[in-house]
Amino acid sequence: MLMTDKPHVEQTEAIGEELRIALESSKVKDDDITLTSYGYDGGPAPYSKPAFVVLPTTGDEVRDILMIANRYKMPVGTIAAGVNVASLVVPPDGGILMDLRNMNKILEINTDSGYAVIEPGCNFDKLTGALRKVGFRFQMPTAPGGSTPLGNHLLKPSGSLANRHLDSILDLEVVQPDGSIIKTGSSHFEGAGSSLRYGPFPDLTGLYCCSYGTLGIVTKAAVKIYPINECSKVVLAGFDTFADAVDFIKDAIANNIPEHCIIWNWSLYQAFNLSDSENTVVEFPESFKSNPFDAPEGFPYSMVTLFLSGYEESVDANIKVSEKVAKKHNGRQLSDAEARALLPVGMKGWDKLYADYRPQVPIALYGLGRNMVWIVHNEPKDIKELEKWAVEELDKEGIRPVCYYAHPFDFGRSIFFRLFAFAEASDLELRHKIGAKFSEMYDTAMKKYNALPYRYNVGDFVRGTGGYYELLKKIKLAVDPNNILNPSINLFDDELFEGEKQ
């Protein structure tokens, strides 16, 4: 039987019996309504129906499920809290989808060493609320509060502390298909806690980050947490060009001014102002349908949000310094009154996300229709050229509005660029057009603009050079020789895999 083949009916029935013995029957679902509801993940991948949905509540149950699946060579996918939009948790056809939402505990909050140990189903709202009670916070993206920190952080976070602290995860507990349980980082040493990711041995935590569930199932993780400082403020600075905004954030970060900053394209930061608490369905303003390079009168082409945090005296001093740096790069820092007059709803949202540490998603991004997303990294010198080209490419196709944001990772060593194109959910022709255009743009971005993919794009893995993929395949063969872990995303080619196994 090939690893992508479905088990025979008799085998499926036997697997179901074993799952119900290992777990309570209520944790094993195989009715059509449940199976159908798990067939999509919000991404562009086609519908896929699992044979079982299982909802474990302990790491031991995860181990039992994997051991049963491994024995029958039945593929297993996983999902935790929230919704994935990248087609990375579409269930394997005829396989098992493991839903970890009920593994949602906060196991430890260590304010001395600065970490929290959580299960995969713990969501942003739950962890944020618990940390606030003890005066702490952690890295948050612009994501719904019901999403999972662990799912986000394992996929390379782009959140509120990524300017300075790219890696959010300290160590992991991982279950392998053979039932073995691995602890990475300092928690491997009994009684040592989870304060250190790196030790005298190789970083196995990094092996499971960005592996998309293909090398093991993470059942708990230690994530970094940070004290809530005395004073927190959001400041806006406007620029007529994206290039000036890039130079500004590089300078500001190099001089330790903001804790976090993002460059917002004019149509995206204006979209924030369309959101309100009573209306989630909005219409495109006419300005959104205009030339994307022409910002409306009174609105900068690029707006930078700077989050400042520390003692009040240091924050006030940094506000003055950032004003000086904005002028240096042909921009202008807005006063707090100007910012709230220009973008009242946007400022409320940024206050909640940065100053109050509460997860936020602009409602207008959903009210405007289905958004398609294209994400890459570039070095700062390349991102300026890529921005012009990417916006022009979509505009030439008549795809509007074109919205994007960008922000630096790791003190500006790399710039994250996320571009949105919108289409009505019912407009299949336009959606296919955008999808095809994005695929074409990825290829050009890698070859011409030295871009790197932010995350794995299903079915289009860029293997590069230097033997990386060959080593990764050997690791996969060692830990998952039957290729049961998330084969649906096609990270590992079946024919290559079979050839290596033989």
Q: Report phi then psi at 136, rounded to 5.
A: -130, 170
Residue 412 pLDDT > 60, yes or no?
yes
pLDDT band at 130 (very low <50, low <70, confident <90, very high): very high
Q: How far apart are CA 250 and CA 262, in angstroms?
A: 11
pLDDT (0 to 100) of residue 5: 56
Tokens of 112: 């001395």
Q: Report phi then psi at 377, rounded to 5.
A: -115, 150
Q: Tell me: the pLDDT tens digits for 292-335? A: 999 999 999 999 999 999 999 999 999 999 999 999 999 999 99
Q: How far apart are CA 38 and CA 250, in angstroms?
A: 43
* Structural contact between residues 37 and 153, judged by C-beta atoms closer than 8 angstroms: no
Q: How far apart are CA 248 and CA 43, in angstroms?
A: 34
Mean pLDDT of the chain: 87
pLDDT (0 to 100) of residue 4: 47
Three-state DSSP at 73 gives coil
Tokens of 346: 């946007």
Nearest to 292, CA basis, from 401, 438, 422, 368: 401
For tokens 């986000």, what's the residue?
Answer: 152
pLDDT (0 to 100) of residue 353: 83
Overall average pLDDT of the 205-226 stretch: 94
* Structural contact between residues 442 and 460, judged by C-beta atoms closer than 8 angstroms: yes
pLDDT band at 180 (very low <50, low <70, confident <90, very high): very high
pLDDT band at 2 (very low <50, low <70, confident <90, very high): very low
Task: Give the Å distances, CA to CA, from 388 to 112, 383, 384, 407.
Answer: 46, 9, 7, 16
**Positive or negative, the Cα torsion across 292, 293, 296, 300?**
positive
Domains of the chain: 106-227 (3.30.465.10), 232-453 (3.40.462.10)
For tokens 């994501």, what's the residue?
Answer: 143
Q: Tell me: the pLDDT tens digits for 9-48? A: 678 899 999 999 999 999 999 999 999 888 877 666 677 8
CB burial class (10 A; 0-12, 13-18, 19+) of residue 481? middle
| Angle at CA of residue 427, ends 421 and 429, nearest 5° | 85
Q: Report the amino acid identity of residue 30.
A: D
* Structural contact between residues 353 and 308, judged by C-beta atoms closer than 8 angstroms: no
> Among 80-94, 101-115, 313-327, 428-442, which is the least confidently predicted range?
80-94
Q: Tell me: the pLDDT tens digits for 436-486? A: 898 889 889 988 999 988 877 765 555 566 788 888 889 999 999 999 999
* Structural contact between residues 258 and 163, judged by C-beta atoms closer than 8 angstroms: yes
Which has the higher per-residue pLDDT, 268 or 361?
A: 268
Overall average pLDDT of the 371-389 stretch: 91
Q: Tell me: the pLDDT tens digits for 50-80? A: 999 999 999 999 999 999 999 999 999 999 8
pLDDT (0 to 100) of residue 31: 93
* Structural contact between residues 195 and 170, judged by C-beta atoms closer than 8 angstroms: yes
pLDDT (0 to 100) of residue 37: 87
Q: Tell me: the pLDDT tens digits for 260-279? A: 999 999 988 888 777 655 55
Query: Terminal CA-to-CA distance of the chain, rounded, Å?
Result: 14
Three-state DSSP at 319 gives helix
pLDDT (0 to 100) of residue 1: 36
Q: How far apart are CA 418 and CA 407, in angstroms?
A: 9
The rounded percent of the chain whose pLDDT value lies above 90 is 57
Q: Centre a 10 Å sphere on the Cβ of residue 325 and count the other Cβ atoms it contains.
A: 21
pLDDT band at 234 (very low <50, low <70, confident <90, very high): very high
pLDDT (0 to 100) of residue 501: 47
Task: Give the Å distances, CA to CA, from 320 to 334, 427, 446, 459.
Answer: 11, 48, 39, 48
Tokens of 258: 């903001």
Which regions of 266-411 does DSSP assign to beta strands (E)?
Answer: 302-310, 332-333, 370-378, 402-409
Tokens of 419: 């571009």
Pairing of strands 452-453, 370-378: antiparallel
For tokens 């980050």, what's the residue?
Answer: 209
> What residues contact 204, with CB distance under 8 A and at least 6 apart?
182, 184, 185
CB burial class (10 A; 0-12, 13-18, 19+) of residue 83? middle
Pairing of strands 52-54, 96-99: parallel
Please tell me the pTM assigned to this model: 0.90
Q: How far apart are CA 318 and CA 306, in angstroms?
A: 10
Please, which contacts does 280-284 make with residues 24 or more away whose CB atoms are closer than 8 Å? Answer: 280/363, 280/366, 280/367, 281/367, 282/364, 282/367, 282/368, 284/368, 284/401, 284/422
pLDDT (0 to 100) of residue 502: 45
Nearest to 177, CA basis, from 482, 390, 501, 453: 482
pLDDT (0 to 100) of residue 105: 97
> What residues contact 99, with CB distance under 8 A and at least 6 apart?
38, 53, 54, 55, 78, 79, 80
* Structural contact between residues 234 and 354, judged by C-beta atoms closer than 8 angstroms: yes
Is omega for the bond preceding 362 within 30 degrees of 0, making it cis?
A: no
